[in-house]
Structures are given as C-alpha cells and as structure tokens.
C-alpha cells in the first residue's frame, strides 16, 4: 500500500476533516515503490512478481523513480519499445467467485514511439472467460480487446488517471477517475481455464507508461463508491476532498524554510531564540523508509522554537495537532520535543512535554 508517511507532521484543523469513508479493508496492493519482480518479498500485498510473456528486448526500461508532483511518492516507470513482458498475479486457490475489481493509477508516455500506456488482462477461471483493457495513448482511446469494443477516454491518456475495472463474470465495466458513469462496458466470449491478472505488454507492441499504484479487490465487482474505501494516502484522480484540510509540515525542509517550500504549515517564525553553540538542526534521510526525510533537532545548551500563527479569521477555540516523532536515546537529552499552544479564543495556553528517559 502506497502510504504517505510524515516524519514530523504538526497539523492544525479548525473543523472536522472531511474525507473518504472508512470501510473494511480488502484491497491487495502494489504501491509502485519497488519493481514488480520484488513484490513477493516486500510489504506489497499484491504479488505481481511472476514474470510472463518474457521477451523484453534490448530497449526495455524498468525502474522506480521519484514522483515529480508528490513529495516522497514513488512511481514504476515501464518503457517497452521492442519486446514484451508482463507481471502476473495468481488468484488464490480459495477464490472461486467470478467477480472482482481492479483499479490502477497510471499515465502513458507522451513519446510518439509508444502506442499504448499499459495493458491490463484478467483470466477469470470461474467464469471461463478472459479479456484485456488496452489504454491507447495517442488516440486517447480505451479498448476491451476480447469484447472487441473501443471508446474515447474523455481526456489525455498521457495524463494521470485512475482506471477502475469492475468484472462480473463475462462482463467488464471501466470507469475513469471514479466517475460513476462508465466509459466502456462489454461482454467477452474468449475462453480460459487460468486464474490470474497480468499488467504490462504481452503483445510485443511499443508500450510505455508510468504506474503509481495497482490494487485488486476479490470481494466483488464494484462501481465507484461501492465496496471498500481506497487504501489510506493514495492519490485518486477525480476525488476532491472538501472542507478544511490539514496544514502540514512534512519534515523535508528546515522549519525556517517552510514559507518558501511545499509545507502548508508555516513554522518559519523563530522564537525563544538562544540556541547555544551545541545546537544541531538538519534534514536527514530516514534509515528505515526509503525516500523519506526527517528533521533532526538536538539542543543541549540553549533554546529555540518554531512558531505558527493562527490565521486572523480563526476565532474558534478547538483544533487538533498531530505529530510523528521520537526522542534521542543519548542521556544528555531530557525531552524529545515540547509542543505549546496559545489559545486566544479560550484565553488559555498549555504545553505537551515529551520526556525521553522517564517514558
């Protein structure tokens, strides 16, 4: 599961946050953080490590890259100009239903060399049929290959979209960006005795795309708004969160720099500014989470705090602060952090002190 983890996140919310409903989790997840071949040994619950149609050709590119739009996010880059290779997930032996849901967030490469972004195929043993969604990049078209149907995507296939495929027996219905009106739906008569899904290029055509995440729910074939909520933290095209949002500091820049960087929580106002000669303030790589950054703050002989002012139009007295942090184990440091709030509307203030060595 693709989860966006903040190392030091202080979030202030004025009202209740409005988001997706929380439901029982049933998704099997590939989050694009490792190559498909590595999923059988990692945290991803959707194992697509079985390689099929394996004639990749000399020009194949497979790599995990940083998302230029979402800090800390990883993307699977798949460029396949002159061969074929797919990544297969087998349905469990205990799965005997014929209805399931596949959802992927992806986009095609804009180079004219690549005809399609990805092919997504399913072999539905219980129904005895199979089909494949082909995403044509330069015609911006969707094709249900075995049902022999094509329909316009309604946007650019070279842009990010969330593709939902709801399969019920012989029938597949495709939704784009969680719009409840389907883009294409068709019935296949192509037969199979296999039980798996495949992602990639099994045709030998020139295919190139970028995959953010890919998930499977075997509890049913669900339209948008039905079934389980998406895994937490996933970017889902077409869904806009309404209402007040979290103000965020994600630990990737020094607090002093938050006004000029991506964090929406401005902590750049320095207070209690007598840092002492031994102060250490730096952004470091997380040794446990690849690509994650952490704010390191060691303060043995002075004081310095980072202050965020409430907006002038905030006149309530209720808010929420959330942070993920840990103390330094060196016995020199008595506390991990202090978090103070001055609540003008209530006329009161308080402070949370996190004592490290008394726990």
Please report, rounded to a whole number, the percentage of residues in the chain having pLDDT higher than 70.
Answer: 89
Phi, psi (rounded to 5 degrees) for 40: -65, -20
Q: Which residues contact 205 (CB under 8 A, 6 or more apart)?
A: 84, 115, 116
CA-CA distance, 349 to 340, in Å (whole number)?
A: 7
Q: What tens digit of pLDDT does each residue of 280-333 get?
A: 899 999 988 888 999 999 888 888 998 999 888 787 788 888 899 998 888 888
For residue 76, is pLDDT > 50?
Answer: yes
Buried b (16+ CB within 10 A) or exposed e, 207-240: bbbbbbbbbbbbebbbbbeebbbbbeebbbbeee
Buried b (16+ CB within 10 A) or exposed e, 299-320: beeeebbbebebeeeeeeeebe
Q: Write down how long the chain is.
A: 359
Residue 30 near residue 348, CB atoms below 8 Å: no
Query: DSSP code of 277?
Result: T
If one counts every other C-beta atom within 10 angstroms of the C-beta of residue 251, the result is 26
pLDDT score, position 336: 85
Q: What tens digit of pLDDT does each residue of 212-230 get?
A: 999 999 999 999 999 988 8
The pTM of the full predicted model, rounded to 2 decimals, is 0.63
Query: DSSP code of 174?
Result: E
Give long-range contacts, CB 8 A cutoff, 24+ apart: 320-323: 320/11, 320/12, 320/13, 321/10, 321/11, 321/12, 322/9, 322/10, 322/11, 323/8, 323/9, 323/10
Q: What tens digit of pLDDT does each residue of 165-187 get?
A: 999 999 999 999 999 999 999 99
CA-CA distance, 236 to 31, in Å (whole number)?
A: 13
For residue 8, is pLDDT > 50?
Answer: no
**What is the three-class DSSP state of 37?**
helix
If one counts every other C-beta atom within 10 angstroms of the C-beta of residue 190, the result is 15
User: Comparing 245 with 250, which gets the higher pLDDT?
Assistant: 250
CA-CA distance, 147 to 173, in Å (whole number)?
A: 11
Q: Which pair of tokens denotes residue 282? A: 């730096």
CA angle 95, 98, 103 (to 5 degrees): 90
pLDDT score, position 245: 67
Rounded mean pLDDT of 56-74? 92
pLDDT range class, residue 260, cuts 50, 70, 90: low
Average pLDDT, whole number, for the chain? 87
Q: What tens digit of pLDDT does each residue of 140-165 get?
A: 999 999 999 999 999 999 999 999 99
User: Comparing 40 with 137, which gets the higher pLDDT?
Assistant: 137
Rg over CA atoms, the chain: 24
């Amino acid at each position: 599961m693709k989860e966006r983890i903040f190392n030091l996140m202080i979030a202030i919310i004025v009202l209740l946050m409005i988001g997706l409903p929380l439901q029982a989790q049933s998704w099997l997840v590939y989050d694009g953080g490792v190559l498909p071949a590595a999923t059988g040994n990692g945290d991803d619950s959707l194992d697509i490590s079985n390689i099929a149609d394996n004639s990749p050709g000399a020009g194949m590119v497979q790599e995990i890259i940083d998302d230029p739009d979402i800090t800390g996010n990883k993307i699977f880059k798949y460029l396949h100009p002159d061969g074929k290779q797919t990544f297969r997930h087998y349905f469990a032996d205990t799965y005997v239903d014929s209805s399931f849901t596949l959802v992927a967030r992806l986009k095609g490469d804009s180079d004219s060399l690549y005809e399609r972004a990805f092919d997504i195929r399913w072999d539905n043993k219980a129904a005895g049929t199979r089909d494949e969604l082909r995403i044509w990049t330069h015609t911006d078209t969707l094709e249900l290959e075995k049902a022999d149907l094509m329909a316009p995507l309604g946007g650019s296939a070279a842009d990010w979209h969330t593709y939902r495929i709801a399969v019920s027996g012989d029938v597949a219905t495709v939704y784009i960006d969680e719009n409840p009106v389907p883009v294409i739906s068709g019935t296949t008569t192509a037969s199979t005795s296999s039980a798996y899904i495949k992602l990639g290029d099994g045709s030998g055509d020139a295919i190139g795309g970028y995959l953010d995440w890919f998930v499977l729910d075997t509890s049913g074939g669900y339209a948008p708004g039905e079934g389980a909520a998406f895994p937490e933290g996933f970017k889902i095209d077409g869904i806009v969160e309404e209402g007040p949002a979290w103000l965020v500091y994600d630990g990737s820049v020094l607090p002093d720099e938050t006004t000029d960087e991506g964090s929406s929580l401005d902590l750049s106002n320095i207070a209690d500014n007598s840092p002492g000669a031994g102060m250490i303030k730096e952004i470091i790589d997380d040794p446990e989470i690849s690509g994650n950054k952490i704010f390191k703050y060691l303060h043995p002989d002075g004081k310095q705090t980072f202050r965020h002012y409430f907006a002038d139009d905030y006149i309530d007295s209720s808010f929420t602060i959330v942070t993920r942090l840990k103390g330094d184990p060196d016995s020199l440091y008595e506390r991990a952090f202090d978090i103070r709030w001055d609540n003008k509307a209530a006329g009161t203030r308080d402070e949370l002190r996190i004592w490290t060595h008394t726990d």
